[in-house]
Amino acid sequence: MRAGLTKLNSSLGMTATEVAVMLAHAGRSSAHVVVLGNEKGGSGKSTTAMHVAVALMNMGQRVATIDLDSRQKSFTHYIEHRRAWAARAQLDLRLPAHFCIARGTTIRLDENESIEFNGLVEAVASVERSHDFIVVDTPGTDAYLMRLAHSMADTLITPLNDSFVDFDVLGRIDPTTFEVTGESHYAEMVRDARRQRRTVDSGNMDWIVVRNRLSMMGSRNKRLVGEGLTQLGARLGFRSADGLAERLVYREFFPRGLTAIDSIDEETLGARPTLAHVTAREEVMALIATLKLPLDERGQRRAAARAEWFSAARQPLELHDIIES
């Protein structure tokens, strides 16, 4: 991760000089970088990022997190809420090493980019050798750091609400046949990021488009969006996966910094658990399995911890511990 960023930096048009190098050559001892990206807001990037980070920590992985959206700070606030709730309820909630990259506030664009770039370099340099994963949440706008994060991703997760409004950031659809007719702006940006990554270190990016806010009922829209993603995935080289359904519990988790894969009990939740909590946990665990993150490379100790956690997490709750949602 320490060589080749000058080349990547140049390909992105950055003008700052003598900046540190970072995530190009991902050696065996370097962290695996998971980037959450989509140019459309409201797709569930921060919620998905938090669930991925907590799932990895629960499986014995050493996780650092980076928030590149220093204006909205949804990911940062989520982690702050988690820390505060753990202290208030006296809970042992796992927390990542977290960084929020400050925005440049000068009147010059190149100076701002340099400030933000160096902030990201410092954050990555401090954890790349001591942690197994770095989970990066990006803003829903096309900006320098957002493009850089995509270029350094080992795994790119693009959450997408299950509608053609969100599909539009990836591809164009014929209004009569619903056949895919072309790629859109975000898909083109990811293609460029992949090319830049290959130029720097010949690395490959695993791209997964995650369908969030899925209806729990079958519909024509659900089927057509799925077919469109299958067509587009064949053209662009991404996999698609079912993500987080439209459930109230995900919105309720945020103020306390909780996730569906934390302990489902009244002490942790601050309320009686419901069947919706159990179902949410199952769908998150299914998503984590679908992502196929490189967990098995991390050693027998963490593999054993992962197996133990999966086994415990899959144990059904007693019916008397659950009230209907």
Q: What is the pLDDT of residues 70-120, one digit of tens each?
A: 889 999 999 999 999 999 999 999 999 999 999 888 888 888 888 889 999
Percentage above 70 pLDDT, the chain: 81
Nearest partner of 75 among 45, 113, 42, judged by Cα: 45
Q: What is the mean pLDDT of residues 177-198?
A: 90
Tokens of 158: 């693009």
For 70, half-sphere exposure in the C-beta direction (CA atoms, 13 angstrom radius) is 17
Confidence of residue 3 (pLDDT cuts 50, 70, 90): very low
- Of residues 239 and 268, more confidence is placed in 239
In this model, does residue 173 exceed pLDDT 60? yes
In this model, does residue 296 exceed pLDDT 90? no
292 phi-psi bin (left φ>0, alpha ψ -120 to 50, beta other): left
Q: What is the mean pLDDT of residues 174-201?
A: 88
- Of residues 290 and 24, more confidence is placed in 290
Percentage above 90 pLDDT, the chain: 48
Tokens of 279: 């179902």
In this model, does residue 290 exceed pLDDT 50? yes
Confidence of residue 159 (pLDDT cuts 50, 70, 90): very high
Strand 63-67, strand 133-137: pairing: parallel
Rounded Cα distance between 60 and 141, Å, is: 33
Q: In the prediction, which pLDDT does 299 show?
A: 42
Q: In the prediction, which pLDDT does 320 show?
A: 46
Tell me if 153 sits within 8 A of 193, measured CB to CB: yes
In this model, does residue 318 exceed pLDDT 60? no
In this model, does residue 24 exceed pLDDT 80? no
Name the least confident of 169-178, 205-214, 267-276, 302-311.
302-311
Name the least confident of 24-33, 42-51, 60-69.
24-33
Q: Strand locations in 101-161, DSSP E?
A: 133-137, 155-161
What Rg do the C-alpha atoms of the chain give, in angstroms?
20
Name the least confident of 22-31, 35-44, 87-96.
22-31
Confidence of residue 2 (pLDDT cuts 50, 70, 90): very low
- Domains of the chain, first to last: 5-314 (3.40.50.300)
Q: In the prediction, which pLDDT does 285 show?
A: 93
